[in-house]
Amino acid sequence: MTRHRRLLTWIVLLVLMVAFGVGVNRYLASGGTPSAYAAAPKPTLTNVRLSLPGTIYFADDGGLFALTGTRIAQLQPEGQGWTQPVLIPGGVGLLAVKVTANYYSDLYELDLAGKVVEQLSHDQGKVTATELGADDWLYYPAVGPGGTLYFSYDWPKGDVDDPSQCCYQVDFSIWETTLGNQITRTNVQKSFGITQQSWANYYTGGDVNPVPLIDGGLLYVDYELAWGDSGELSTPLAGAVEGAEVSQIRLDPKPLYNVAGSDGTALTLPQDDCAQPALNPEQTEIAMICTPVVNGAPSSTESDLVVASFDAATGSLGPLDRIVTGTMAASPAWAPDGTDLIYLAPETGDGYFELWYVKDAATSLAPQPKQVTTELDLDGSAAAWAS
Amino acid sequence: MSLGPPPDAARRRRASRRHPRIPRVRSILVVLLGFVLSGLVGALTFFWPTITTALGATGHGIQVSAPTPGTIPGSPSATPTVAPTSSSPFTVLLMGSDNDGKFTTASGAPYFCCAQSLILVRVDPAASSVTMLSIPRDLWVPIYSASGRRLSDGKVSQAFGDAGDGTNGANAEIATIEQDLQITVDHYVWIGLQGLINLIDEVGGIDIVASHPVMDDNYPYDVAGSTNPNAADRVAVLPGAQHLDGLQALEYVRSRHDDFSEDIGRTVRQQQVLVALRQKLSGLSLGDINNIASALNGEVLTDVPLTQFPLLLGISKDIGSGSIQHVYVTQYSGGTEDGQDVLEPDMSAILAYVHQYFPPA
């Protein structure tokens, strides 16, 4: 090899070395090593593993979506604060809550294609530093027989008339009206056809998840202190720390005749910490989420999917059957025929909630959950399953 | 017929052919080394922001001096800083607070109020177990300076603010907790409010099971661009499974007004979010390191040396969520000191409780 060729070879090698270094840098910069935290894709672009009959409505990242077969259609765009879609009985439309973050939420009626038909509630406040307590949260809409609408509303608040104290005590109570009635804070009184149906335990967060019964009764979830100076529970849970809370599913057989202090009867025990009740169409089976309680404290990393028989006439539940455990199960909903269940849970041990399916949830001896969606990160609000 | 070269000449020729091989092997090695070095330089320049951030945030050693003898019976001596090993248990103090200096003293200087969150973590790698102990911020205890000098009594969280800035505040907080609880703190990690938001956003949010509706109409609106430290915001985190972004997660762990027991309620949630965050960070990939370092720039301080982080991450991955024990200091009663609502400790009960989980110094 001549001297010139050798020199040329070294120059070429040096250039290649520099190029390699630059290449490594650019490879890393271009995300060549994939991030473990890539943003979830649009639901409409994700793969659906399992085709279920009917249509499932759900919320994701502030948008509304409908899953039919293996196709996800967008009803409302993401980032708009949409959550908690529920079906109007008869499948004539949807109700959904629209959240304006850190301010308020309002209730809307939509058609099944996601078009807004009517805004049903109207927050009246304008949050400023000096106007505390002027806005309201409205969540958990549910429509019962005859178009009776139930919802959770954080009014009345404690000390709302004392600006220096307002508003430390903000708890949901359950209210009732007729679907179509306009809901504003000034309207939430009996003379406007909007009546309070539950009275929250103070400083607990209050009462949520109303489920209307066919005979006019009402299921709902209340939160109680597992231990505290005021002793909300007659028997504090062993090991509970001050202020720890548990939930119970309560049955109020005649909510329209309710009076303050009448909370109905508890269907579940405090130590079962059950919430998010969903009834099958015949209202003979209840699905719910119960959190394992250890030393008086509900688990923060596990919640079980539980099924039990339900008798509205006697106000009793059968034995609790924990059909899915060891995960963060949430928001069960029954199939229109009342046999199968869907619920939300992470794909793996934590995070990124997907839709799951359990066939013959009430009767199967060994239920086998199957994952329906992939790559989503659902917001935890209930999905609605229509025929 | 050729008889070929004589044997000696052949050997010489073979030898002369062998010599060029040595430079050739050397040349190949040089070229390979050049590529490796070039690649390392390329990677180094990419990770440079991370390296500078990490160097700036880590290795802020604990420099707590021995306390004045006799100030507290059985008080610990100077704190030994124990480097984590793969098997020896160690204790870390986690502190969370604001660091934007939004409050000022009478002279107009930035005033860092206090550590809003204090969680002691005992890690036992051999047993693959973790114990998290929350200390209520309003516990009324003797306060110590970073040098171990006994100051006045105050809320335990105020030790952080009395020293005046993040680094020294951490040392004063460690000294106070070591002296009052008679334990040894091996390491500390401090994170600012905005740092927590940034970190959770960077990992795509966290998913938790909220135990009850967390409601607050008087939540401090002092991050995310707010310029009014007294402004209020509204919070509603609904019960059940929830996906929280950074700001929502901060609201979840910081809100207290609708908690019956105020601070204890949110300390339970703080531990919950830390566990969810640990789970999320266990999937950390090389491609996330720069973004996370950028998100935490100036928002994290620790005395843990940078070189120990791979070991700590390894230990963290080995410990399942079910092996984490959550405990809380609750041995106190409500009271008033210096015109403030405080928690009056039952110190003997607290020490007996704490020493079940954290060995006495």
Structure tokens of A19? 């190029």
Question: What is the structure's pLDDT at A165?
Answer: 62
Label residue A320 left, alpha or beta by phi (over 0 means left) and psi (-120 to 50 means alpha): beta
Question: B344: helix, coil or strand?
Answer: strand
Other beta carbons within 10 Å of B324: 18
B291–chain A Cβ distance below 8 A for any pair? yes
Q: For A275, phi and psi rounded to 5 degrees?
A: -155, -175
- Between residues 39 and 78 of chain B, which touch chain A (CB distance below 8 Å)? 39-43, 45-47
Q: For A36, phi and psi rounded to 5 degrees?
A: -80, -10
- Between residues 189 and 228 of chain B, which touch chain A (CB distance below 8 Å)? 202-209, 211-218, 221, 228
Sequence ranges of the domains in chain B:
7-57, 58-75+91-357
Contact residues, chain A, for B275 at CB < 8 Å: 300-301
Contact residues, chain A, for B330 at CB < 8 Å: 241-242
Contacts of A225 (CB under 8 A, 6+ apart): A201, A203, A204, A231, A232, A233, A243, A244, A245, B260
Kindly tell me if the per-residue pLDDT of B53 is higher than 70.
Answer: no
d(CA B182, CA A383): 51
What single string gives the DSSP state of each residue in A332-368? EEE-TTSS-EEEEEESSSSSSEEEEEETTTTT-SS--
Closest-CA residue to B281 (of A304, A268, A35):
A35
To test the contact with chain B by mutation, choose from A10, A14, A17, A221 the residue with the greatest count of B C-beta atoms within 10 A, namely A17
Kindly tell me if the per-residue pLDDT of B162 is higher than 80.
Answer: no
Distance from CA of B62 to the nearest CA of A (A): 32
Question: B291: helix, coil or strand?
Answer: helix
pTM: 0.82
Q: How many A×B Cβ pairs under 8 Å?
A: 240
Kindly tell me if the per-residue pLDDT of A45 is higher than 50.
Answer: yes
Helix axis angle, B246-254 relative to B193-202, nearest 10°?
130
B218-272 pLDDT tens trace? 887 777 666 666 677 888 999 988 888 898 999 998 888 877 766 778 888 888 8
Distance from CA of B68 to the nearest CA of A (A): 35
Question: What is the structure's pLDDT at B308?
Answer: 72
Q: What count of Cα atoms within 13 Å lies in the side-chain half-sphere of residue A236? A: 15
Is the CB of A353 less than 8 angstroms away from the CB of B243? yes
Identity of the residue in A31, A205, A329 whose CB atom sits nearest the CB atom of B239: A205
Which superfamily does CATH assign the domain made up of B58-75+91-357 to? Answer: LCP protein (3.40.630.190)
Contact residues, chain B, for A380 at CB < 8 Å: 207, 238, 240-243
Pure H helices in B131-183: 158-162, 166-181
Is the CB of A245 less than 8 angstroms away from the CB of B211? yes
Question: What is the structure's pLDDT at A240?
Answer: 72
Closest-CA residue to A147 (of A186, A98, A193):
A193
Rounded to the nearest 10°, the torsion over CA B30, B32, B33, B35 is 120
Other beta carbons within 10 Å of A254: 12
Task: Measure Cα distances from A96 to A83, A141, A143 in Å.
Answer: 6, 7, 12
A110–chain B Cβ distance below 8 A for any pair? no
CB A48 within 8 A of CB A376: no
Most confidently predicted of A138-142, A268-272, B159-163: A138-142
Label residue B323 left, alpha or beta by phi (over 0 means left) and psi (-120 to 50 means alpha): alpha
DSSP letter at B361 equals: -
To test the contact with chain B by mutation, choose from A6, A26, A28, A58 the residue with the greatest count of B C-beta atoms within 10 A, namely A28
To test the contact with chain A by mutation, choose from B31, B132, B133, B212 the residue with the greatest count of A C-beta atoms within 10 A, namely B212
Question: A54: helix, coil or strand?
Answer: strand
Rounded mean pLDDT, A350-362: 85
Could you identify the residue written with the tokens 């100077």? B78
d(CA B135, CA B148): 20
CB A107 within 8 A of CB A151: yes
Could you identify the residue written with the tokens 């090389």? B286
A353–chain B Cβ distance below 8 A for any pair? yes
Contacts of A12 (CB under 8 A, 6+ apart): none
B267-309 pLDDT tens trace? 888 888 888 888 888 777 766 777 777 777 777 888 877 677 7
Identity of the residue in B41, B291, B330 whose CB atom sits nearest the CB atom of A21: B41
A106-144 pLDDT tens trace? 999 999 999 999 999 999 876 555 567 788 999 999 999
Q: Is the dihedral of CA B250, B254, B260, B263 positive or negative?
A: positive
Question: What is the structure's pLDDT at B166?
Answer: 44
d(CA A257, CA A195): 10
DSSP letter at A303 equals: B
Contacts of A285 (CB under 8 A, 6+ apart): A279, A307, A308, A309, A310, A334, A338, A361, A362
Question: What is the structure's pLDDT at B70?
Answer: 30
- Amino acid occupying residue A234: S
DSSP letter at A283 equals: S
- Between residues 292 and 311 of chain B, which touch chain A (CB distance below 8 Å)? none
Kindly tell me if the per-residue pLDDT of A340 is higher than 90.
Answer: yes
Q: How many residues does chain B have?
A: 361
B135–chain A Cβ distance below 8 A for any pair? no
Between B277 and A168, whose confidence is greater? B277
Contacts of B48 (CB under 8 A, 6+ apart): none
Question: B119: helix, coil or strand?
Answer: strand
d(CA A154, CA A183): 13
To test the contact with chain A by mutation, choose from B214, B234, B245 the residue with the greatest count of A C-beta atoms within 10 A, namely B234
What single string gives the DSSP state of each residue in A184-251? -GGG-SGGGT-EE---PPTTS-BEEEEEE-TTS-EEEEEEEESS-TT-SSSSPPTTPPTT-EEEEEEE
Question: B300: helix, coil or strand?
Answer: strand
B203: confidence class by pLDDT, cuts 50, 70, 90: confident
Q: Is the dihedral of CA A329, A332, A337, A338 positive or negative?
A: positive
d(CA A150, CA A216): 12
Identity of the residue in A28, A276, A330 whose CB atom sits nearest the CB atom of B43: A28
B235–chain A Cβ distance below 8 A for any pair? yes
d(CA A275, CA A67): 25
Kindly tell me if the per-residue pLDDT of A88 is higher than 90.
Answer: yes
Q: What count of Cα atoms within 13 Å lies in the side-chain half-sphere of residue B303? A: 25
B59-108 pLDDT tens trace? 565 544 433 333 322 223 334 445 555 678 899 999 988 765 555 666 66
As a whole number, the mean pLDDT across chain A is 86
Question: What is the structure's pLDDT at B80?
Answer: 42
Rounded to the nearest 10°, the torsion over CA A159, A264, A275, A248 is 80
